[in-house]
Chains A and B, each alone.
Chain A
């Protein structure tokens, strides 16, 4: 909508006071409108329509259409105050006027144009006398608002400093103003009219605000008074700077192991000396638009550009400017066998910049490499105690670079190495299984069944480990040899009712206990040393390498009895800090759990030392 024609008010509100007895024809206040073109001489009008109804006091005022000076139309008397006052505030009431401005050529449209609020406080009293009033009230408003001007506009008057109502209180005084600043500024004071005048167009990219000192000189009969107030003039921005690239406009992007939807690559920056507001988000987001310059539908479907912007100051010479950041982003997963390389051009357009060269062209040099699914480690070899319990972790397996994979799904399973074996030996192979890690694409081998461990023919197991990529069904195989060594437990030791190491509260009973998930057949004790809540709390665990480490891994999550310290969902009793999702992050003293219910408490009992009796028990077990 062309309603503003580049005219604007350098202030958001105007305010002053009026009193009973204020005479018809006296000036109250002057508003100014700043122009974009010299031909846009402003035409001012008072404007009531947006207020609910034409105010009772509308006829009290009139405005000079050319100067913007508001005058009293009538002399205010006591009944005027009563006619508009509300009972709530008996001594003063506020009158709101609206002033609009349009170019003279469009003066019929004045009331639809840019407008500003004028707030007049009407006191239910006559004006103070010259002896009652403080000198600074003759010079400056009680509460001032900082004016603003737009950059690149034609110069002209911007503010009336004279306070008409108050200045007339002391007719014998001469009041004049001066403007001062430490550095040269494009502002002067018109001594005849007391108007602050902009002398030249300003550039926000050079200076964002000006600090002036206004001086008010009051000459009374015998003395000269000088009063001082600061003034801060803000310079408003417009899009008058084109985008530019600092350094290279090309970035190399290698897409290899990370190829999931949403992955972002490269970092390209475009600079703009103009500001971009984050408040009008819709508007700002659309200010800069990018276009991919390619007809290749695969590229168009697969890639998008991620645009972010931020405000920076130091790199633009201590004046605010905008930095746009561009990243290449995947719209979908790229399959493991994709191999391509191409240059992707995209155009960035500063849509609100009016001059030429409002665009910059940027390039991503994209290389997509296929990811081979292989095992370079020819054979995995693990040795484990025959005493190990179900869910004991044997070791990790990983196709090459599996820890770096993103957007590549791998599933692992075990097959028999030799199919020509007896059924008896085949049944050994239930002893071990493999599970995919929850967070990365590695696999974890674990004891699935302890029964075969007791059988001599099951002491050496040879598996074929198969890793299968889920999308293209690519396979890789390797050999896994697992040797169970040492003595097995006799059968009679089985049949414990509970198998959780976590139930044990003392070192002695912990280290003699056969808990679920123990690779040695014995639980392990961790001794905390701190008296306060600590991540290193005392506890009994099947394997201190994996439990409690604050993370409920794929094997631990198979059975809550393995490591409730990492995996419990339930509230924990006693001094503790809860884990992010599950488990205990830190505990006070010793933490132990019955099923999922965990307790942390300081054990003041003396630690039972494993005496000779105890040692015999361990030795014979």
Chain B
């Protein structure tokens, strides 16, 4: 899509899934539901010399045991807060729980 700036990773996309709040595994007891958006996809096309060097060093076992993290597809902005009522009629608000924008970082 044109919105994706060049070098920001064409494969790294925002996806969504319809879930129950209980599926989030945070321990809340409620029947409410939500749309959870997440970032997913490869980030090869946004790699730099730095990433290539790290790759080479890891493969050649020059960096013993350490494996520095590589470019990955992560949210750079989050959805609005989500509030819901639980089964004991108390309100909870989730912040930064769902992605709004993704990028390779």
Q: Which residues of A contact B (CB under 8 A)?
A: 531-533, 571, 574-575, 577, 588-589, 600, 602
B24 to chain A, nearest CB (A): 8
Q: Mark B17-41, 1 if CB is under 8 A from A, else 0.
A: 0000000011111000000000000
A589 to B27, CA, bound (A): 8
Out of B26, B90, B95, which one reaches A588, CB within 8 Å? Answer: B26
Residue in chain B with minimal CB distance to A533: B27
Please name all residues of chain B whose beta carbon is closer than 8 Å to the beta carbon of A602 when the two chains form the complex.
25, 27
Q: B92 in the interface, Cβ–Cβ < 8 Å?
A: yes
Tell me whether A577 and B92 are in contact (CB under 8 A): yes
Tell me whether A532 and B95 are in contact (CB under 8 A): no
A571 to B27, CA, bound (A): 17
Please name all residues of chain A whose beta carbon is closer than 8 Å to the beta carbon of B90 when the two chains form the complex.
577
A537 to chain B, nearest CB (A): 9
Q: Which residues of B contact A (CB under 8 A)?
A: 25-29, 90, 92, 95
A531 to B28, CA, bound (A): 10
Please name all residues of chain B whose beta carbon is closer than 8 Å to the beta carbon of A600 when the two chains form the complex.
27
Residue in chain A with minimal CB distance to B94: A575
Contacts A532-B29, A571-B95, A600-B27 aside, 11 further interface pairs with beta carbons under 8 A come to A532-B28, A533-B28, A533-B29, A574-B26, A574-B27, A575-B25, A575-B27, A575-B28, A577-B92, A588-B26, A602-B27
Please name all residues of chain A whose beta carbon is closer than 8 Å to the beta carbon of B28 when the two chains form the complex.
532-533, 575, 588
A368 to B27, CA, bound (A): 54
Please name all residues of chain B whose beta carbon is closer than 8 Å to the beta carbon of A589 when the two chains form the complex.
27
B71 to chain A, nearest CB (A): 24
Please name all residues of chain A whose beta carbon is closer than 8 Å to the beta carbon of B27 when the two chains form the complex.
531-533, 574-575, 588-589, 600, 602
Instruction: Give 19 CB contacts A-B under 8 Å.
Output: A531-B27, A532-B27, A532-B28, A532-B29, A533-B26, A533-B27, A533-B28, A533-B29, A571-B95, A574-B26, A575-B25, A575-B28, A577-B90, A577-B92, A588-B26, A588-B27, A588-B28, A589-B27, A602-B25
Please name all residues of chain B whose beta carbon is closer than 8 Å to the beta carbon of A571 when the two chains form the complex.
95
Tell me whether B95 and A575 are in contact (CB under 8 A): no
A326 to chain B, nearest CB (A): 38
B94 to chain A, nearest CB (A): 9
**Pairs A-B, 6 closest by C-beta atoms:** A588-B27, A575-B26, A575-B27, A533-B27, A532-B27, A575-B28
Please name all residues of chain A whose beta carbon is closer than 8 Å to the beta carbon of B25 when the two chains form the complex.
575, 602
A93 to chain B, nearest CB (A): 49
A111 to B20, CA, bound (A): 68
Residue in chain A with minimal CB distance to B25: A602
Please name all residues of chain B whose beta carbon is closer than 8 Å to the beta carbon of A575 when the two chains form the complex.
25-28
A256 to chain B, nearest CB (A): 40
